[in-house]
Chain A
Amino acid sequence: DQQVKQNSPSLSVQEGRISILNCDYTNSMFDYFLWYKKYPAEGPTFLISISSIKDKNEDGRFTVFLNKSAKHLSLHIVPSQPGDSAVYFCAARDYGGSQGNLIFGKGTKLSVKP
Chain B
Amino acid sequence: DGGITQSPKYLFRKEGQNVTLSCEQNLNHDAMYWYRQDPGQGLRLIYYSQIVNDFQKGDIAEGYSVSREKKESFPLTVTSAQKNPTAFYLCASSPTRGTGELFFGEGSRLTVL
Q: Which of A45, A100, A107 contacts B94 (CB 8 A)?
A: A100
A100 / chain B contacts, CB cutoff of 8 Å: 31, 50, 94-96, 98, 100, 102
The answer to whether the Cβ of A101 comes within 8 Å of any Cβ in the partner chain is yes
Interface string of B47-79 (1 = CB under 8 A from A): 010100000100000000000000000000000
The answer to whether the Cβ of A99 comes within 8 Å of any Cβ in the partner chain is yes
Report the separation of the CA atoms of residues A15 and B6 in the bound assembly, to the nearest whole angstrom.
34
Q: Is the interface of A mostly helix, strand, loop or mixed?
A: loop
Residues of chain A having any CB pair with chain B under 8 Å: 6, 9, 32, 34, 41-46, 49, 51, 89, 91, 93, 98-102, 104-107
A91-B100, A100-B100 given; 7 more Cβ-contact pairs under 8 Å: A34-B99, A43-B6, A43-B90, A89-B43, A98-B48, A104-B44, A106-B41
